[in-house]
Structure 1
Amino acid sequence: MNYWLMQLQKDNKPDNTDIINRLKSGFIGIDLDQCEEVDNDSKPLTQWTTDEIAQYKGGTWKGILHAFLEIKVFDIVLIRNGVTPIALVKIVGNYVFSQHDLEQVWYKHRYPITLLDYYTAYQERNVGAHLKMPQLRSILTKAVDYRTQSYQLIDKWYKDYSRHHDDASEHKLIEISISNFKTFYDFKIDGLTQINLIAGKNNVGKTSLLESGYINLVSRDIEHYLTSLIKLKKMRSCYLETHSSRIALSDLRHAKDSNDLTIQSNINTTAFHVENDAIRLEVNGISQTYSRFEIQKRVDNGTVMVDRSNIQFIPSFSINDETLSFLFSKIQMARKKEWLNQSLAEHFDENIVEFDLILGEPKLFLLNRDEGWISLSEFGEGIKRFITLICAIWASQEGACFIDEIEDGIHYLHYNKLWEIVFNTAKEANCQIFASTHSKEMIESYYKEAKRLDQKDISLTTLVRDKENQSKAITYDFDWLTHEMSQNHEVRGW
């Protein structure tokens, strides 16, 4: 997803009311005048030659035309009239050339849009607030650098809209870009859905992608950003590594030795800057600098504030009883304990009546056992993994749950029932799922259960390495995955 600023042009300079009426048509575009050099009335911009683009209006529009064709689905565009913000729109389709409805739409060269928000609505939500527009010469500007005024005002408006909008999809992770983090040097993935499975060989970056998404979603401010790093460090030694009482940043940054780490999504932008003996953390343009000693002290003490409760990260290894207790408390608070008990009885053993923590120890109550309550440890890791995932998804209600190596501890014969539980629980809890796997059987079960349950809001992302050994993503939506699976094609990146 990219940010753009756009001035809607017409022969006569339109007023704000004219622009708003044109936005209601469901399109934005550019108005190209007829000129001697280019017969632009007769063909789409995509068919213009390089020379035609270069010659149009003496070459003064070359940059605009190239930029216009770079606009992608899901991009966010701030529509302005001079220095006055008018509206925020989202691109929902590819470039269109049409000579119909010109009186209403204005433009032959156009993109279909969804109108997200008017500036007047933003001001009503934020009394006294004012988004200061920069002076721009071009009618179309791509906001690339998150440190610029253009980027920050669009980002601020879009995130304010997302927080207040009723449509929960605006709060879901749709795309994410990662720079200088572990195996990722310059990485981007988009087309994320309600349920997302990440596949690929070992050491290609599956866990790093989950960690990046978790960090980005949790980091609504600096303190939550730092907390997410410490929490993951405590969970597995993968961030802010310590060695000889110093932080080893080599594991945090990419091997190309950059001192800047950025994770940008449609929700948040986070950055990690190393400055001599200091570390500067940045979230959505707001930064705070810490000394290495201060960071090290926080890491050693494990000082973690209460994290954002509806975004959870489940590691590949078995969680301890303390973490399970925390997750179980969330399912109790949601009054969904019976959902858990019914799932266990239906998918594992009809004699299971109840799961609970007795004096801090996880136990199951069974009808056919004289002692009644049986320690969960007697049942193996498989059922504990199921309980963990069900609790974690409910703990992530209206949020997101990141699950590393989802098949860990579960026999392959139970993969179908695992996905049935995950699909149904995630739907009931309105929870976005990100899970990783390297198992072919897990991918097959994922697709089969999605098809059986008519769950089409899913994706499979395969991570591969290119010729330069950089991680890249191939994302299959439901239809593409259906085609690949029907042809027995390998989709794991092997």
Structure 2
Amino acid sequence: MSSNRIKRHLDRLILDPNNYRFIDRPDYKLIAEEDLADTRIQQRTYNFLLGKNNSNINDLTSSFTTNGFLDIDQIQVKAVGDKYLVLEGNRRTATLKYLYDQFKEGKDVGKLTEADFKSINIVEIIDENPVQHLISMGLHHISGKKRWNAVNESQLVNDLIETYGKSETEVCDALGISMQKLRRSRRTLFLIKQYKISDFGDQFEANKFTIFETIIASPIMKTWIGWNDTDYEATNIINLEKLFSWISQTEEIDKDDDGVERSSLKEPIISQYRQIKELAEFVNDNQAVKRMEESRSITEGYSYSDAIGENRLKNALNSIKSEVNVAFNFSEHLTQDDYLEVERLKVKLDRLIPSSEASIVINDNQLSKYFTTITNHFESAFIHRYRKLEKVKIKKLSKVNIFAGGNNMGKTSLLETFYLLSQLNDLNAFLSLEKYRGKFQNDFLSKWISKNFINEIELEGIFNNVGIGLTIQKELTEDNIEKSGYLSSLSSEATIGKGAILESSIHLYSNKEAELRFSKSQILCPATFTSPFRSNINLLKKAHAFAVKEGFIDEVIAFIKEHLDNSIEKIEMIDEDGESRFMVSSSSIGDKPIDITKYGEGLQRVFEIALLMGYSQNGIVCIDELDSAIHKSLLVQFTKFIQQTAQKFNVQVFLSTHSKECIDAFVKNDYHNNEITAYALVNDEDNIKCKYIEGSRLEQLVETINFDIR
């Protein structure tokens, strides 16, 4: 293969519509050579390369306008009639064409001049060797820095073997990749081909590649689908179709009482490659798989599998037995720090044995409210210290307040701040937060709270036009109490305005229940806290009873019917075998209601949040990770429902999210955007700051520059 360096006008260069970067697109079709220069085909290829809002070429646009067009990476072409087809450098060529259009319209193109477009250095490939061309592209886009997505990489590798007869070893040597990567890549590609010819094939997107790759990497999943490494084919068609349905959106057909068919779309059960690893642990447990399919939740299937629970418990107990024997045999080497660690482990082991001693009993009875009427909720807050937050100001609070930021930025702690302030000196509120933080389901141990309460809590706020203060600290009491087994005390002091001071304390013991003491305890307003990582069935019972009493339950069910499942008729609290459960009656399941947990987590989350919105009447509700488990297509309607419900019941909403779609939804629902305030949590010299953006400004930014406050 020979080449020749020449100069040609940009208009004589045509883009390659058969470039490997396009083959993963659903609308990709192989273009014959005589049609390569067709105007419509060239325009479509040009649009593909530019991407939405020119996102695919922003880096090159900036580089070319700043530095000019530097002839570092060659643009390789071959003659096609009187034009030149770009073999390598399609993205750079598309960028130049875009900037040339800008230049002809009189727009600023930086250092580029007309000569840069009329006389471009290119390398004409003569007597093109297609194999060498593919290898050259592979070195750029598989082994090099300018990576294609995995589907396109796999297709190029497979074409070298299948179309051009290269051996696996030759391809590995030519591209500098390992045999393991090559074979995994090809197996994944062939599994994708089986998916593409299935009933769900039209749903394939490049971002699903890692799901198929994880399936191929799992020996259990390969066995389950009957994968043949010789023929590169899955032979267990029944299991394969099941798997394909789990990773795809499915359509379910139901009939009403009149025999009229109604279809509904169900979101994929599996949408992330990590879930394949979880699936592999119970895919051979038929009951767990059935539970997953009924609930459309892989978490349900995973937690339902007896095999997983039993194996983990047995492995844990065997490990404890083995390691305890080792520690005992070499106990003469224990240091003081080791003894402390043994004591911590002993506490955990003690908790495996059911016991009612040394626990904290949380009283969640509603206390009297300090204010008889509430004209304004929280206007601002100042966190002197709470967990990792220090000296954080939150100003200009409104009806709906959104806190956005990355993981471990303190979003949950901010919500807890308002919850604690609203409950004044009621230590039960603080203890309930700690219980869920510590993931305790039943007994909440005094030793745990005594050891894990480290820093004093100091909070301020303005509520109902009055200044509020709250401090919670750990101390050794000077009260005349029984000191046997005494650990420490937590004391709380709340101030309202310039006069009222409310105090309470709780004494913690290692050998008996904690003792709560107070002369008077009040709250500012009702408050609820909901999180996808916490569960409070007693609170939901009360919220459901309120919704039924006030008739609000009808609005909740109406929303669920309209936006999630139109077959649902009612959701009731039913006492079954001594346990209260939410049961769903649906026209699609017959006369017998089923437990709400058999439905998806999204429906359960919507139901819980909706109930708590009503139950928080004249108070506040804190919603952690609002978008968790709720599909993005529902967010606009659900955020509007939240705002409407907040208006109806006079509720101030505090919520956290790290989803841009969730933030956009509040703006796009076009419901009282002036009542939305958003805050971005950012690191500023190792301190977390809370940056304020008011609703109308947020709306403008989202609409004009696709602003993301995360």
Deviation by residue 1:317-363 (Cα, 9 ceiling, x = unmatched): 26354443232112123332212222222222332221112222212
Aligned to 1:281: 492
1:177 and 1:265 in contact (8 A); partners too: yes
Q: Quick check: 1:192 aligned with 2:192?
A: no
Q: Radius of gyration: which is bigger? A: 2
Please state how far the C-alpha of 1:238 moved relative to its aligned partner: 8.6
Aligned to 2:605: 385
Q: Quick check: 1:236 aligned with 2:437?
A: yes
Find the residue that maps to 1:201 and give its secondary structure: coil
Q: Quick check: 1:448 aligned with 2:664?
A: no
Distance in 1 (CA, whole Å) between partners of 2:531 and 2:572 is: 22
Evaluate the alpha carbon distance shift between residue 389 and residue 295 of structure 1 in structure 2; reply closer, same or farther with a 3 A threshold. farther
Aligned to 1:271: 471
Deviation by residue 1:411-466 (Cα, 9 ceiling, x = unmatched): 222212221221222121111111100011111112111xx224421111111110
Evaluate the alpha carbon distance shift between residue 293 and residue 188 of structure 1 in structure 2; reply closer, same or farther with a 3 A threshold. farther
Aligned to 2:457: 261
1:285-304 alignment runs, 5 A limit? 285-293=501-509, 297-298=513-514
Deviation by residue 1:195-224 (Cα, 9 ceiling, x = unmatched): 1111011111100000011010012xx3x2
1:31-430 alignment runs, 5 A limit? 163-164=371-372, 168-170=374-376, 172-219=377-424, 222=425, 224=426, 226-237=427-438, 247-249=450-452, 253=455, 260-267=456-463, 268-276=468-476, 277-284=488-495, 285-293=501-509, 297-298=513-514, 310-317=526-533, 319=535, 321-359=537-575, 360-430=580-650
Distance in 2 (CA, whole Å) between partners of 1:317 and 1:307 is: 26
1:451-462 alignment runs, 5 A limit? 452-462=670-680
Please state how far the C-alpha of 1:470 moved relative to its aligned partner: 1.1
Q: Letter of the aligned partner of 2:436 in structure 1? A: M
Q: Quick check: 1:466 aligned with 2:684?
A: yes
Deviation by residue 1:40-64 (Cα, 9 ceiling, x = unmatched): xxxxxxxxxxxxxxxxxxxxxxxxx
1:321 and 1:362 in contact (8 A); partners too: no
Evaluate the alpha carbon distance shift between residue 332 and residue 413 of structure 1 in structure 2; reply closer, same or farther with a 3 A threshold. same
Q: Letter of the aligned partner of 1:414 in structure 2? A: L
1:405 and 1:436 in contact (8 A); partners too: yes
Which of 468, 479, 483 is equivalent to 2:700? Answer: 483
Relative to total residues, which structure has the larger strand share, 1 or 2?
A: 1
Q: Letter of the aligned partner of 1:483 in structure 2? A: Q
Aligned to 2:67: none
2:682 and 2:690 in contact (8 A); partners too: yes
Please state how far the C-alpha of 1:289 moved relative to its aligned partner: 4.9
Find the residue that maps to 1:461 and give its secondary structure: strand
2:636 and 2:666 in contact (8 A); partners too: yes
1:230 and 1:299 in contact (8 A); partners too: no
Please state how far the C-alpha of 1:375 moved relative to its aligned partner: 2.1
Distance in 2 (CA, whole Å) between partners of 1:448 and 1:396 is: 25
Q: Letter of the aligned partner of 1:163 in structure 2? A: F
Find the residue that maps to 2:705 and give its secondary structure: coil
Aligned to 1:80: none
Distance in 2 (CA, whole Å) between partners of 1:295 and 1:287 is: 25
Evaluate the alpha carbon distance shift between residue 248 and residue 372 of structure 1 in structure 2; reply closer, same or farther with a 3 A threshold. same
Distance in 2 (CA, whole Å) between partners of 1:406 and 1:218 is: 22
Q: Letter of the aligned partner of 2:635 in structure 1? A: Y
Relative to total residues, which structure has the larger helix share, 1 or 2?
A: 2
Q: Letter of the aligned partner of 2:653 in structure 1? A: I
2:679 and 2:693 in contact (8 A); partners too: yes
2:574 and 2:582 in contact (8 A); partners too: yes
Q: Letter of the aligned partner of 2:702 in structure 1? A: M
1:2-21 alignment runs, 5 A limit? none
Distance in 1 (CA, whole Å) between partners of 2:645 and 2:511 is: 38
RMSD, matched Cα: 3.1
Distance in 2 (CA, whole Å) between partners of 1:321 and 1:264 is: 30
Find the residue that maps to 1:447 and give its secondary structure: helix
Deviation by residue 1:8-58 (Cα, 9 ceiling, x = unmatched): xxxxxxxxxxxxxxxxxxxxxxxxxxxxxxxxxxxxxxxxxxxxxxxxxxx
Find the residue that maps to 1:248 and give its secondary structure: helix
Distance in 2 (CA, whole Å) between partners of 1:383 and 1:462 is: 28
Q: Letter of the aligned partner of 1:217 in structure 2? A: S
Distance in 1 (CA, whole Å) between partners of 2:679 and 2:400 is: 11
Find the residue that maps to 2:609 and give its secondary structure: helix
2:473 and 2:492 in contact (8 A); partners too: yes
Q: Letter of the aligned partner of 2:611 in structure 1? A: C
Find the residue that maps to 1:370 and give its secondary structure: coil
Evaluate the alpha carbon distance shift between residue 344 and residue 308 of structure 1 in structure 2; reply closer, same or farther with a 3 A threshold. farther
2:674 and 2:695 in contact (8 A); partners too: yes
Evaluate the alpha carbon distance shift between residue 242 and residue 358 of structure 1 in structure 2; reply closer, same or farther with a 3 A threshold. closer
1:246 and 1:296 in contact (8 A); partners too: no
Please state how far the C-alpha of 1:476 moved relative to its aligned partner: 1.0
Evaluate the alpha carbon distance shift between residue 460 and residue 227 of structure 1 in structure 2; reply closer, same or farther with a 3 A threshold. same
Evaluate the alpha carbon distance shift between residue 463 and residue 295 of structure 1 in structure 2; reply closer, same or farther with a 3 A threshold. farther
| Highest RCO, 1 vs 2 (Cα 8 Å, sep ≥ 6) | 1
2:403 and 2:681 in contact (8 A); partners too: yes
Distance in 1 (CA, whole Å) between partners of 2:401 and 2:511 is: 33
Distance in 1 (CA, whole Å) between partners of 2:522 and 2:510 is: 19
Give 5+ residue unaligned stretches, structure 2.
Answer: 1-369, 477-487, 496-500
Distance in 2 (CA, whole Å) between partners of 1:309 and 1:176 is: 16
Give 5+ residue unaligned stretches, structure 1.
Answer: 1-161, 254-259
